[in-house]
Amino acid sequence: MVAWVVTLLCAMTLLPTAANADNPIIQTIYTADPAPLVHDGRVYLYTGHDEDGSTYYTMKEWRVWSSTDMVNWTDHGSPLSLSTFSWASADAWAGQTVYRNGKFYWYVPVKNRTSGAMAIGVAVSTSPTGPFKDALGHPLVENWEIDPTVFIDDDGQAYLYWGNPRLWYVKLNADMISYSGSPAQIPLTTQGYGTRTGNTSRPTLFEEAPWVFKRNGLYYNVFAAECCSEFIAYSTAPSPTGPWTYRGTIMPRQGASFTNHPSIIDYKGVSYFFYHNGALPGGGGFTRSVAVEKFNYNTNGTIPTINMTTTGAPQVGTLDPYVRQEAETIAWESGVESEASSEGGMNIRQIENGDWVKVKGVAFGAGAASFNARVASAANGGNIELHLDSVNGTRVGTCGVPSTGGWQTWTTVSCPVNGATGTHDLYFKYTGGSGALFNLNWWQFQAAGN
Ligand code: FUB
In this predicted model, what pLDDT tens digit does every residue of 315-357 receive, in sequence order? 999 999 999 999 999 999 999 999 999 999 999 999 999 999 9
Among 295, 317, 350, the domain-final residue is 295
The reply to whether 414 and 268 lie within a common domain is no
| pLDDT beyond 80 at 13 | no
88-90 vs 141-142, strand pairing mode: unpaired
Per-residue pLDDT of 401-416, as tens digits, reads 999 999 999 999 999 9
| pLDDT beyond 80 at 11 | no
Q: What per-residue confidence (pLDDT) applies to 405? A: 98
Q: What per-residue confidence (pLDDT) applies to 17? A: 34
Which residues lie across from 424 on neighbouring strands? 362
| pLDDT beyond 80 at 10 | no
Per-residue pLDDT of 155-192, as tens digits, reads 999 999 999 999 999 999 999 999 999 999 999 999 99
φ and ψ at 3, to 5 degrees? -55, -40
In a domain, 303, yes or no: no
In a domain, 302, yes or no: no
* pLDDT over 90 percentage in the chain: 94
Among 280, 295, 310, the domain-final residue is 295
| Nearby residues of 344 by Cβ (< 8 Å), 6 or more positions away | none
Per-residue pLDDT of 36-89, as tens digits, reads 999 999 999 999 999 999 999 999 999 999 999 999 999 999 999 999 999 999
Q: Domain containing 194: what range?
A: 3-295
CA distance 437 to 348: 11
Q: Say if ligand 1 is within 6 A of residue 146 CB.
A: yes
* pLDDT over 70 percentage in the chain: 95
**Where does residue 366 rank: exposed (0-12), middle (13-18), buried (19+ CB within 10 A)?**
exposed
Q: Say if ligand 1 is within 6 A of residue 33 CB.
A: yes
The reply to whether 382 and 429 lie within a common domain is yes
Residue 21: which pLDDT band, with cuts at 50, 70 and 90?
low
Closest residue by CA, ligand 1 atom 2: 93
Q: Say if ligand 1 is within 6 A of residue 32 CB.
A: yes
- Average pLDDT (421-435) is 98
In a domain, 307, yes or no: no
CATH number (domain holding residue 329): 2.60.120.260
In a domain, 155, yes or no: yes
In a domain, 42, yes or no: yes
Q: How many domains does the chain have?
A: 2
* Ligand 1 mean position, distance from CA 388 (Å): 39
Q: Say if ligand 1 is within 6 A of residue 259 CB.
A: yes
In a domain, 319, yes or no: no
Residues tagged active-site: 33, 207
- Average pLDDT (292-309) is 98
Cross-sheet strand order for the sheet of 231-237: 206-215, 218-225, 231-237, 245-251
Which residues lie across from 373 on neighbouring strands? 413, 443
Decide if 330 contacts 449 (C-beta within 8 A).
Answer: no
| pLDDT beyond 60 at 361 | yes
Closest residue by CA, ligand 1 atom 3: 93
In a domain, 310, yes or no: no
The reply to whether 257 and 352 lie within a common domain is no
* Ligand 1 mean position, distance from CA 208 (Å): 8
Q: How many CB atoms lie within 10 A of CB 270?
A: 14
Q: Say if ligand 1 is within 6 A of residue 261 CB.
A: yes
- Average pLDDT (196-220) is 96
Decide if 427 contacts 358 (C-beta within 8 A).
Answer: yes
Question: Which amino acid, residue 135?
Answer: A
Distance of CA 147 to the CA centre of its chain: 16
CA angle (201, 207, 210) in 5-degree steps: 140
The reply to whether 196 and 275 lie within a common domain is yes
| pLDDT beyond 80 at 226 | yes
The reply to whether 11 and 87 lie within a common domain is yes
In a domain, 305, yes or no: no
Q: What per-residue confidence (pLDDT) applies to 449? A: 84
The reply to whether 202 and 99 lie within a common domain is yes
**According to the 3-state scheme, what is the secondary structure of the chain?**
CHHHHHHHHHHHHCHHHHHHCCCCCCCCCEEEEEEEEEECCEEEEEEEEECCCCCCCCCCEEEEEEECCCCCEEECCCCEEHHHCCCEEECCCCCEEEEECCEEEEEEEEEECCCCCEEEEEEEECCCCCCCEECCCCCCEECCCCCCEEEECCCCCEEEEECCCCCEEEEECCCCCCEEEEEEECCCCHHHHCCCCCCCCCCCCEEEEEEEEEECCEEEEEEEECCCCCEEEEEEECCCCCCCEEEEEEECCCCCCCCCCCEEEEECCEEEEEEEECCCCCCECCECEEEEEEECCCCCCCCCCCCCCCCCCCCCCCECCCCCEECCEECEEECCEEEECCCCCEEEECCCCCCEEEEEEEECCCCEEEEEEEEEECCCCEEEEEEECCCCCCEEEEEEECCCCEEEEEEEEEEECCCCCCEEEEEEEEECCCCCCCEEEEEEEEECCC
CA distance 163 to 208: 6
The reply to whether 164 and 205 lie within a common domain is yes
Decide if 396 contacts 419 (C-beta within 8 A).
Answer: yes
CA distance 442 to 410: 11
* Ligand 1 mean position, distance from CA 2 (Å): 20
> What is the torsional sign of CA 47, 48, 52, 54?
negative
- Average pLDDT (121-146) is 98
CA distance 273 to 69: 15
Average pLDDT of the chain, as a whole number: 95
Among 241, 276, 295, the domain-final residue is 295
Q: Say if ligand 1 is within 6 A of residue 94 CB.
A: yes
Q: Say if ligand 1 is within 6 A of residue 95 CB.
A: no
C-alpha neighbours within 13 Å on the C-beta side of residue 336: 30
The reply to whether 266 and 177 lie within a common domain is yes
Q: Say if ligand 1 is within 6 A of residue 69 CB.
A: no
**Closest CA relative to residue 238, chosen from 209, 214, 222, 262:** 214
The reply to whether 96 and 195 lie within a common domain is yes
* Ligand 1 mean position, distance from CA 6 (Å): 24
Ligand 1 pocket test: pick from 231, 257, 259 the residue with the most ligand atoms within 8 Å of its Cβ. Answer: 259
CATH number (domain holding residue 162): 2.115.10.20
Closest residue by CA, ligand 1 atom 1: 93
The reply to whether 140 and 199 lie within a common domain is yes
The reply to whether 274 and 146 lie within a common domain is yes
The reply to whether 30 and 88 lie within a common domain is yes
Q: How many CB atoms lie within 10 A of CB 418?
A: 14
* Ligand 1 mean position, distance from CA 231 (Å): 13
